[in-house]
Structure 1
C-alpha cells in the first residue's frame, strides 16, 4: 500500500514558546499547521524568565513584542560579581534591556497570537510513533480515550529536552550532564537584593537573581556540593544554599515555585533528517547561566519558519532549508561553549578555577570587554560582528527609521509583519524598486527616495524575513537586483498578492 497524501503542510510538536513562535511564523507566511502538545495545560513553573534584545527584535517582526514588553519588567543592568555592571541600556536596539517576564506569560501571548492566525493547538496529544517516507511524515498520536494518525509534509520537534520527535526519528543528543543540580525558586526576600540582574559567584557556587515586576525574585543557586536528589526541594534547603554561597542571608519566604533540576550540556549532530527537523531544547541543552535557552529556541523558530514555508510553497532556492542547520547549529555550539565556561568559572573551587574567575572578573573592568559581553548576551553579536560594523549578507538589520516620500518615517522592521522579504531602494531614481515589483508576493518593496543614515554607503538592501541581510549593493542596477531576487526569493516572479504593511510609524518601545 502506498503512503497516503499528506493531510497538511506542517505539524509542530510542542506548544512551548519555540513551537508557538514557529507556528506563528508559518501562519504569517501562509502555511497552515497543527501544533500537538503532550501537556493538557500550560505549566505555571518555568526556568526561563529573560528575553534579550535580539529575541525581542525577532518577536517584534510579527507583532508579538509589544504585549510582552508591557507584561515584563525592563532591567537595564547586570552585575557580575564585583565587576562594574553590564549596561544593556547602551545597546543599539529598540529593546535596550533584559525583559524579565515569566515563560508562562510568553507562552500565553504566543498562544493567543497563534490562535488569531488560525493555528490549531491540540493539547493532551502525545506522539508515540513516527514514520517518514519521500512524501511526508506520519505520526501516531495518543490521547486519554483514543489514538489516531496525523500526516504532514514536514514535522518539527519543538518538544523540549525529552523530545519524542528526536528519539523517534533517530537523532541523538551528544554531550554531558553536570554533577551538580541547581535549585530554582520564585520567592520574596526579607532582605531584598538589588533590582538589577545579579550573577554572584561565591564560596563553591553561584547565585543568580532576577527581579520580577511585583517585587519578588527568581533565584538560582548552583553549588558543587549539591548533586541530584529525587526529593523535592524545600525552602529550608534554599536558605541553606544561599547562606553557604553568599556573604549574607537574603532570607527567602513565600515561595511560589521551588524546584531542583539537572543541567545538561548537549547538542544533536543534525537538526534535520529527511522531513523531520528539530528546534529549541529538542536540539540543544546547556547550562542556564546567562538565561540563553528560551532565547536560542525562539531565534531557531524565526530562522526556520520562513525557510520551511518557502519549501512548502514551492519556491525555496536550492539548499535553503539546509541553511537552517548551517546557521543555527554553530550559534548553539557557541552558546554551549560560553555557558559551560561561565558555569565552570562561577562554581569552581580549585586554586586554578578561582584564579581564572578572578581574571575574568578583572577583565570586565575594561569598558570594551563589558560592551562586548553585553552585546553577546543580548544576542546582537555573533560570529565576531555586532551587525552594524559589517553591513553585508548575514548581518543583522540595524535599528533604523526610513524616510519616505510624502509619508511619515517608518521603522524598517515594522514593514515585515507579513513575513515577506524587504527590499529597500535607497536611491533617487527607484530603478531597484521597479525591478523588484514582479516579486511583490514575496517581497515588500520600499523606495525611500534617498539614503538611510543607519545603512551608510548602500543603495539597495534585501532583508530576509528574519531581519538578516540577504544582499546589499552600493550602486544597484536592475540586472543585479533581479539576480539577487532570483537567488534568494525564488526563480519565478509572482504578481503581488498581498499589500505591504501600512506605512505608519511604529510605536517605539
Structure 2
C-alpha cells in the first residue's frame, strides 16, 4: 500500500525510538508513516527502565503521565555491596527509575502516534533504498506483494540489524563480547532488595530490577560461560544466581528466558543525504546500566524538531547536521562507560573486584558525589555545545537542560514550563518588565511561543530572557541588563535557531494528518499552546 505523494518522512521501525520520533514529527505538523517488519507489537519486556531525563523529554509532549501510571518507581541503585545511588535526591519531577516493560512503552507511544495522525504499516519489510537530491524511495514487501514508498527523508530506527543502515551503505564498526549473558523475567521465592541491584565477583555480574508483584528482571553474565545456542533452563538460571548472590533465590514461573550477545558498535555516520539513523540502528553497547532505550528515545526527541524544520523549509544552515554533532558524543560516552563497567564487573581477579567495590563505596558515601552519579546515570547532566551562548555567567547556560520550572505568567495562573511545550515549538521566557523580547518573536510566527513572566524566577537569577529549544535545552540565555542590546541579541539568536523572519512554509498534510489534527492527543496539545504573546 503506497503512501500519499506528499509524504514527508518515513520512519522504519516501530520500537520506542521510531514511535517517539513519529510523535515528534506529527506534533510539529509533519506527515509521517512508520514501516515495521513485525506483524504485531512485541509482547516481550526487553528494555524496561526509563530514567529521569527520558521521562522529562517525554513529558515535554505529554507522554509521561501514562507511562508513570503503567510503571513502577524504583528509587535506588546498588552498584556494589556497600554503595548506593539515591534517585530520590535528584531535582526532577521524576526522581526514580520508572520500571516498565518495553511493550507497554510501545503501547503508549503507538496510541499517541495514531492520535496524531501517524500511519503505521506492519508486516512491511524494507529491502531496497535509493535517494537523490529531492527524496528517498524504498522498496517494500509484505505477504500481499511489493511496492515502493517515497518521502523527503527516511529515518532508520530499525534496530541492531538495521536494513536502512545497510542499504544506505553506512558501516557499523565495533566488536562483540566473548560472553553470552542470560536474560530472564522471573519470580523469586527469596528475592534480593527492591532496588536496582548489581552484584559482581568471581568473573561474573548479576543485575536484578524489580517489576513489582514478585516479578524480577534478571541479567547475569559470566566469563566462563561463552555463547551457545542451547536454550536457557530454570535450573541453569538458579545455579548462576546462587553463585552470584551466595544463596539460592528460588527462581520460578519464568515469563521469559533467553541468551543474548553483547555488542559495542557505532555507525560511521548518523546521516547520509536524506537518510538518517537513530537508536540501536546508530549505536549498540553493553546493557549494564540500562541506557540503550533511554539513549534512543533522546535521539528521537533531539532529531524530531530539527527534521521537521528541514522538511518545513525554515531550518537554518547546519541545524539538521547538529543532530549527529550533539547525539554522537552522548553515544560515545555511553559506549565507553558501559564497556569499562562491563569489563570491571566481570573481572576474574578477586583483587580487582575488591578494590572496585571499596573505591565505589567510599566515593558514594559522599552525598555530593552520590547526587552527581545519580544525575549522570539518569541523564540529567546531558548537555550540548554552547551554540549561541551569551558571554555572561548565568544560572542557565546555552546547551544546558532547562528544568521543569513553575512559571508565573504575567496576568495569568502559574504553569509548569514543560506543559507550555506540548506542541513542539521553541519557547521564549521573557522576564523583562516591558515584554520587548516577547514582541520580537512575532516576526517568526508560529515557530516560537513567547511567554511573559510575571514575577522573578528564583531558579533563574540574573536571567532576562531564555529561549528554550523544543527538546528542553537552552538555545540562548541573556542577562537582565542592557535591554536594547538584549533585543538585538534576541534577534540574532532567533535567526541562528529559527531561520529567517516571516511565516514558516506550511508542509502538505495527508488526509491521515488532517484527521489526526482533530484527534484527542493533538487537541490537547493545541488547547495548552499559548497565544502568540502569552499574557493571559
Does TM-score exceed 0.5, indicating one fold? Answer: yes
Q: Deviations over 1:357-379 (max 9, x none)?
A: 23334333333322221111100
SS of corresponding position for 2:197: strand
In the alignment, which residue of structure 2 is the partner of 1:468? 473
SS of corresponding position for 2:335: helix
SS of corresponding position for 1:212: strand
In the alignment, which residue of structure 1 is the partner of 2:420? 415
Q: Any unmatched runs of 5+ in structure 1?
A: 505-509
CA distance in 2, matches of 1:390, 1:411: 19
CA distance in 2, matches of 1:384, 1:141: 37
Q: CA deviation at 1:6?
A: 5.7
Q: CA deviation at 1:356?
A: 4.8
Between 493-502 and 322-331, the greater mean CA deviation after superposition: 493-502
Q: CA deviation at 1:351?
A: 5.3
In the alignment, which residue of structure 1 is the partner of 2:491? 482
1:26 maps to 2:15: no
How has the CA–CA distance of structure 1 residues 195 and 178 changed in structure 2, closer, same or farther, with 3 Å as cutoff?
A: same
SS of corresponding position for 1:23: helix
In the alignment, which residue of structure 2 is the partner of 1:459? 464
Q: Deviations over 1:126-149 (max 9, x none)?
A: 000111111111100010120000
CA distance in 2, matches of 1:107, 1:389: 39
In the alignment, which residue of structure 2 is the partner of 1:507? none
How has the CA–CA distance of structure 1 residues 255 and 266 changed in structure 2, closer, same or farther, with 3 Å as cutoff?
A: same
Q: CA deviation at 1:500?
A: 7.5
Q: Any unmatched runs of 5+ in structure 2?
A: 386-392, 507-524, 532-536
CA distance in 2, matches of 1:355, 1:77: 22
CA distance in 1, matches of 2:405, 2:305: 22
C-alpha contact (below 8 Å) 2:431/2:453 kept by paired residues: yes
In the alignment, which residue of structure 2 is the partner of 1:159? 158
Point out 4+ residue stretches in structure 1 off by more than 4 angstroms: 495-500
CA distance in 2, matches of 1:170, 1:7: 26
Q: 5 Å matches for 1:63-142?
A: 63-142=62-141
In the alignment, which residue of structure 2 is the partner of 1:369? 369
In the alignment, which residue of structure 1 is the partner of 2:360? 360
1:315 maps to 2:293: no
In the alignment, which residue of structure 2 is the partner of 1:335? 334
CA distance in 1, matches of 2:495, 2:383: 27
C-alpha contact (below 8 Å) 2:83/2:361 kept by paired residues: no
Paired positions, count: 498
C-alpha contact (below 8 Å) 1:224/1:347 kept by paired residues: yes
1:448 maps to 2:453: yes
Q: CA deviation at 1:310?
A: 0.1
> Alpha carbon RMSD of aligned pairs, Å?
2.1
Question: Bigger relative contact order, structure 1 or 2, given CA contacts below 8 A and separation 6+?
Answer: 2
SS of corresponding position for 1:209: strand
SS of corresponding position for 1:277: strand
C-alpha contact (below 8 Å) 1:265/1:336 kept by paired residues: yes
C-alpha contact (below 8 Å) 2:383/2:400 kept by paired residues: no
